Amino acid sequence: MLRTPTGGAGNGAAGPVGRLVSIGTVLGQLRDEFPEVTISKIRFLEAEGLVEPRRTPSGYRKFSPDDIERLARILRLQRDHYLPLKVIREQLDGRAADQGRTPAPSSHAEADADGEAVDGRAASTAARIGRAELLAAAEVDEAQLAEWESYGLIAEAPGGGFDAETVTVARLVADLGRFGLEPRHLRAMKAAADREAGLVEQVVAPLRRHRNPQTRAHAEATMKELAGLSVRLHEALVQTALGVRLS
């Protein structure tokens, strides 16, 4: 659990000077939970307007306990949910529809009180981000993104923009790249994912064509469950293969 001083001011607000700490102290407190966080990362989040530490007359950053907790929440949302900075900013500013909870992925349909399926594509369109925001979320440059696109790993959604799932893919591709895995190495994963998606679509297609709205809603729930099982199976198969090869 993050350890921060008690009391102090909220995000950049005035507070007892003795409770404000330097960026180096912030880094030390955050690294217990986020070993890979760097001073550059904290400065980047400040540049994006997600945190606003106070400045001393000589220009040094000073962070309050609320600033540190805000940084921790941002890092959790990025690490655990791969949310783009735009969505994180909306949550932190209290504009999310359900404050205190991470929004459900917008690509899946939900059922309303009458059992009618509510297509998540409209919400997905509203949640799309632009190219510059995707670059910031994945912390890569234009050349890297263009290379991912050339290998079919990333693509804009119909109508333009990038949805939440694409942001997740971008961050994962970037993370794998830090281990030396290049886009050409990941084409097999993309091909396997496309095949798995095809199998799921075959199963749910008859349900999605049904006239009963409750049946269509069940199709979306089934699709989500099958996707989750597919991911778990893939993970188990990889772990098993590695266990056999390394034994």
CA 213 to chain centre: 31
Residue 12 belongs to a domain: no
> In this predicted model, what pLDDT tens digit does every residue of 185-210 receive, in sequence order?
999 999 988 998 899 899 888 888 88
Categorize the per-residue pLDDT at 215 as very low, low, confident or very high, splitting at 50, 70 and 90. confident
Task: Label residue 94 by pLDDT band (50, 70, 90).
Answer: confident
> Would you say residue 5 lies in a domain?
no
Q: What is the pLDDT of residue 53?
A: 94
Give dist(CA 167, CA 207) in Å, integer. 29
CA distance 83 to 90: 11
Per residue in 104-153, pLDDT (tens digit) is 443 333 333 333 333 444 444 446 888 888 888 888 899 999 999 999 99
Q: State whether 54 and 154 are in the same domain.
A: no
pLDDT at 95: 52
Does 228 reside within a domain? Answer: yes
Rounded to whole angstroms, the Cα distance separating 111 from 25 reads: 47
Q: Are residues 51 and 139 in the same domain?
A: no
How much is the pLDDT for 1? Answer: 54
Q: Is residue 98 part of a domain?
A: no
In a domain, 144, yes or no: yes
Supply the pLDDT for residue 40: 82
Lookup: tokens for 122: 């409209």
Instruction: Quote the domain boundaries for residue 123.
Output: 110-246
Decide if 173 contacts 186 (C-beta within 8 A). yes
Task: Indicate the number of domains in the chain.
Answer: 2
Q: Are 68 and 126 members of one domain? A: no
| Final residue before a domain boundary, out of 81, 101, 122 | 81
User: What was the pLDDT predicted at 235?
Assistant: 86
Look at residue 97 and give its three-state secondary structure.
coil
- Of residues 230 and 127, more confidence is placed in 230
More confident residue, 200 or 10: 200
Decide if 38 contacts 44 (C-beta within 8 A). Answer: no
Do 77 and 34 fall within a single domain? yes
Whether residues 76 and 123 fall in one domain: no
Identify which has the larger pLDDT, 212 or 123.
Answer: 212
Q: Is 7 left (phi over 0), alpha (psi -120 to 50) or beta?
A: left
**pLDDT the model gives residue 114:** 35
Q: Identify which has the larger pLDDT, 132 or 213.
A: 132
Whether residue 119 sits in one domain with residue 159: yes
What's the CATH code of the domain at 40? Answer: 1.10.1660.10
Where a domain ends, among 33, 64, 81?
Answer: 81
Residues 221 and 137 in one domain: yes
Instruction: Give the confidence band of 183 by pLDDT, cuts at 50, 70, 90.
Output: very high
Mean pLDDT of 86-109: 58
- The answer to whether residues 151 and 186 touch, using CB atoms and an 8 Å cutoff, is yes
Q: Are residues 127 and 232 in the same domain?
A: yes
In a shared domain, residues 60 and 138? no
pLDDT of 100 strictly over 70: no
Cα gap 2→65, rounded to integer Å: 10
126 lies in the same domain as 184: yes
User: What is the b/e burial string over 177-186, where b = at least 16 CB atoms within 10 angstroms of the residue's CB?
Assistant: beeeeebeeb
Which CATH number goes with the domain that contains 185?
1.10.1660
105 occurs within a structural domain: no
Do 29 and 77 share a domain, yes or no? yes
d(Cα 189, Cα 176) in Å, to the nearest integer? 12
Q: Which residue has the higher pLDDT, 68 or 125?
A: 68
Tell me how far apart the alpha carbons of residues 66 and 16 are, in angstroms, rounded to a whole number.
12
Residue positions counted in the chain: 247
Is 185 inside a domain boundary? yes
**Does residue 42 sit in the same domain as residue 121?**
no
Least confident of 6-10, 33-37, 174-178, 240-244: 6-10
Asked whether residue 19 carries a pLDDT value surpassing 90, the answer given is no
- pTM, two decimals, is 0.50
pLDDT value at position 119? Answer: 42
In a domain, 151, yes or no: yes
